[in-house]
């Protein structure tokens, strides 16, 4: 292994490059990133940066003066446009190309958009630091009517921040409750009620027809007037540049349990790995295929992909990547933390604390087993659940544990 290219210069790509070096790889490492910025942290984009509490110089993922220590060539402001698996070469948007014997795909995800989104100057999305600063300029002084389309994590974070800045905030959600995909309907509704108590108007079961210069038009003809619209309707893995590569793409780059990518014919592609929001892989610990759109996974997976690549190059067996997924979401005074997985048909039980007090631990179970745990304003209750999940705790054991809290 002599030449590694990492495509995507964000969290997963940076952790991959750092791990290659920390594990002693001495060949060349080139990191290609479509954004002009060095790797930065996205969670503050909907929280402290958007609120004006932090400036962009606080969100580096690595101290600016320590980038050179990595001995990595950064190609920033340049996108990968094509991956040639047979020639083992990646073509770039500046007309150059890079040969590789190892490649880590870490191109993350981009915002899903409404059909006519680009035509309206008052319509925003939040994925990049530039997006966040543009929106901040609109809402910083308060007094605007901000309509957020989508009550997912990012939509609710933006809504909470906009409210804290003194804006009137309405959230429009197509499903019957906020956060259904991440937390299920019951807990989503509980968190929605906490936002409503903070003065945010959340309207569920509404269908957006289209954007309008005066706001958002709903199906049936109602106009929800607004000065600023934020679209938070989820993300799409950034795989367009791989469409003609021969890699198997199914809502993400399909990988095996060691994060090695596969061709459409089902054969593995030696030396080509993926990490972060862009891939799906079978998590053996849960016996299910996952694509995760959260920080901790991107960081850990970047490192894991690099370790897999180095292990194979050294003739060793790579470790399967089988973590307990974890994420957090800070929405004003609501701190959400989640370990494990939630599914629609899970059994759900508030095991400690209470929704009414705004501090609680909810257990998620299936087939007599603990599957996940949600903490709201309860960090000390959530983290010890990791041990139970790792031990494959039964539902009854988990309920008994929660009762001691
Ligand atoms: P990304 O961060 O998406 O980076 C991919 C990079 O690849 C981008 O810079 C992109 O420009 C680049 N790229 C794309 N295509 C190409 C190409 N063809 N060639 C070269 N470069 C390319 N997670 C949490 O757990 N908790 C939170 O509170 C939280 N808050 C968030 C708030 C916001 C506003 C956002 C946007 C995300 C948040 N996340 C949070 C999610 C977390 O930030 C992501 O999971 C993480 O950034 C994923 O990292 P990544 O490196 O896989 O991809």
- Read off the pLDDT of residues 264-309 as tens digits, 9 standing for 90 and up: 999 999 999 999 999 999 999 999 999 999 999 999 999 999 999 9
Q: Is 308 in the pocket of ligand 1 (CB under 6 A)?
A: no
Ligand 1 mean position, distance from CA 221 (Å): 35
pLDDT at 332 over 90: yes
Q: Is 125 in the pocket of ligand 1 (CB under 6 A)?
A: no
* CB atoms inside a 10 Å sphere around CB 233: 21
Q: Is 18 in the pocket of ligand 1 (CB under 6 A)?
A: no
Ligand 1 mean position, distance from CA 354 (Å): 33
Where do the domains of the chain lie? 3-110+235-313, 113-231, 333-403
Which ligand 1 atom sits closest to the C-alpha of 240? 18
Whose CA is closest to atom 30 on ligand 1? Answer: 43
Q: Is 43 in the pocket of ligand 1 (CB under 6 A)?
A: yes
| pLDDT of amino acid 344 | 80
Q: Is 233 in the pocket of ligand 1 (CB under 6 A)?
A: no
Q: How much of the chain, in percent, has pLDDT values that exceed 70?
A: 100
Predicted-assembly ipTM surpassing the 0.95 threshold: yes
Calculate mean pLDDT across residues 87-116: 97
* Band of pLDDT at residue 116, cut at 50, 70 and 90: confident
Ligand 1 mean position, distance from CA 11 (Å): 7
**What confidence tens digit (pLDDT) does each residue in 187-205 have?**
999 999 999 999 999 999 9
Ligand 1 mean position, distance from CA 265 (Å): 29
pLDDT at 118 over 90: no
pLDDT at 397 over 90: yes
**What confidence tens digit (pLDDT) does each residue in 121-175 have?**
999 999 999 999 999 999 999 999 999 999 999 999 999 999 999 999 999 999 9
Residue 91: C-alpha distances to residues 62, 79, 85, 239, 402 (Å): 27, 9, 11, 14, 53
Whose CA is closest to atom 36 on ligand 1? Answer: 127
Ligand 1 mean position, distance from CA 162 (Å): 22
Which ligand 1 atom sits closest to the C-alpha of 235? 36
| pLDDT of amino acid 345 | 86
Q: Taking Cα atoms as reference points, which of 73, 106, 105 lies closest to residue 269?
A: 105
Looking at domain 3-110+235-313, its CATH superfamily turns out to be: FAD/NAD(P)-binding domain (3.50.50.60)
Q: Label each residue of the chain as H, E or C.
A: CCEEEEECCCHHHHHHHHHHHHCCCCCEEEEEECCCCCCECCHHHHCCCCCCCCCHHHCECCCHHHCHHHCCEEEECCCEEEEECCCCEEEECCCCEEECCEEEECCCEEECCCCCHHHCCCEECCCCHHHHHHHHHHHCCCCCEEEEECCCHHHHHHHHHHHHCCCEEEEECCCCCCCHHHHCHHHHHHHHHHHHHCCCEEECCCCEEEEECCEEEECCCCEEECCEEEECCCEEECCHHHCCCCECECCCEEECCCCEEEECCCCEEEEEEECCCCEEEEECCCCEEECCCCHHHHHHHHHHHHHHHHHHHCCCCCCCCCCCCEEEEEECCEEEEEEECCCCCCEEEEEEEECCCCEEEEEEEECCEEEEEEEECCHHHHCCHHHHHHCCCEHHHHHHHHHCC
Which ligand 1 atom sits closest to the C-alpha of 32? 20
Ligand 1 mean position, distance from CA 301 (Å): 13
* Band of pLDDT at residue 237, cut at 50, 70 and 90: very high
**What confidence tens digit (pLDDT) does each residue in 175-185 have?**
999 999 999 99
Calculate mean pLDDT across residues 228-241: 98
Which ligand 1 atom sits closest to the C-alpha of 329? 28
Substitution site in 32, 156, 295 for ligand 1 pocket (most atoms within 8 Å of beta carbon)? 295
* Residue 367 phi, psi dihedral angles, 5° rounding: 50, 45
| pLDDT of amino acid 64 | 87
Q: Is 106 in the pocket of ligand 1 (CB under 6 A)?
A: yes
Ligand 1 mean position, distance from CA 13 (Å): 10
**What confidence tens digit (pLDDT) does each residue in 3-55 have?**
999 999 999 999 999 999 999 999 999 999 999 999 999 999 999 999 999 99
Fold: same for 113-231 and 333-403: no
Whose CA is closest to atom 32 on ligand 1? Answer: 43
pLDDT at 2 over 90: yes
Is the domain covering 333-403 a CATH 3.40.640.10 domain?
no
Looking at domain 113-231, its CATH superfamily turns out to be: FAD/NAD(P)-binding domain (3.50.50.60)
Calculate mean pLDDT across residues 335-359: 95
Structure tokens at 151: 């009550």
Substitution site in 75, 107, 155, 230 for ligand 1 pocket (most atoms within 8 Å of beta carbon)? 107
**What confidence tens digit (pLDDT) does each residue in 220-229 have?**
999 999 999 9
Q: Is 33 in the pocket of ligand 1 (CB under 6 A)?
A: yes
Q: Is 79 in the pocket of ligand 1 (CB under 6 A)?
A: yes
């Amino acid at each position: 292994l002599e030449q590694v290219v990492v495509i995507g210069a964000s969290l997963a790509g940076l952790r991959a490059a750092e791990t290659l070096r920390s594990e002693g790889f001495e060949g060349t490492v080139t990191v290609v990133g479509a954004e002009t910025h060095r790797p930065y942290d996205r969670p503050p984009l909907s929280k402290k940066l958007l609120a004006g509490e932090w400036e962009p110089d606080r969100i580096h993922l690595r101290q600016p003066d320590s980038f050179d220590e990595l001995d990595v060539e950064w190609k920033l402001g340049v996108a990968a446009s094509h991956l040639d698996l047979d020639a083992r070469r990646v073509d770039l948007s500046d007309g150059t190309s890079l040969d590789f014997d190892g490649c880590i795909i870490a191109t993350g995800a981009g915002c899903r958009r409404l059909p006519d989104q680009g035509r309206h100057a008052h319509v925003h999305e939040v994925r990049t630091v530039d997006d966040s600063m543009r929106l901040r300029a609109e809402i910083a002084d308060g007094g605007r009517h901000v309509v957020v389309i989508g009550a997912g994590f990012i939509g609710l974070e933006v809504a909470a921040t906009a409210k804290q800045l003194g804006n009137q905030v309405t959230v429009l959600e197509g499903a019957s409750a906020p956060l259904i995909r991440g937390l299920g309907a019951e807990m989503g509704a509980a968190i929605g009620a906490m936002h409503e108590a903070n003065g945010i108007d959340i309207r569920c079961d509404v269908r957006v027809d289209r954007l309008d210069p005066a706001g958002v038009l709903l199906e049936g003809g109602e106009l929800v007037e607004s000065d600023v619209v934020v679209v938070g309707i989820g993300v799409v893995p950034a795989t367009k540049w791989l469409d003609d590569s021969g890699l198997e793409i199914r809502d993400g780059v399909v990988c095996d349990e060691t994060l090695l990518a596969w061709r459409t014919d089902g054969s593995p592609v030696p030396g080509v790995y993926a990490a972060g929001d862009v891939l799906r892989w079978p998590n053996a610990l849960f016996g299910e295929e996952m694509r995760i759109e959260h920080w901790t996974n991107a960081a850990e997976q970047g490192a894991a992909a690099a370790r897999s690549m180095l292990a194979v190059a050294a003739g060793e067996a790579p470790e399967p990547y089988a973590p307990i997924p974890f994420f957090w979401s800070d929405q004003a005074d609501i701190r959400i933390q989640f370990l494990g997985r939630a599914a629609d048909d899970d059994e759900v039980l508030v095991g400690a604390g209470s929704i009414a007090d705004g501090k609680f631990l909810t257990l998620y179970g299936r087939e007599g087993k603990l599957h996940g745990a949600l903490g709201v304003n309860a960090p000390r209750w959530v983290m010890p659940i990791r041990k139970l999940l790792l031990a494959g705790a039964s539902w009854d054991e988990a309920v008994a544990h929660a009762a001691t809290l």
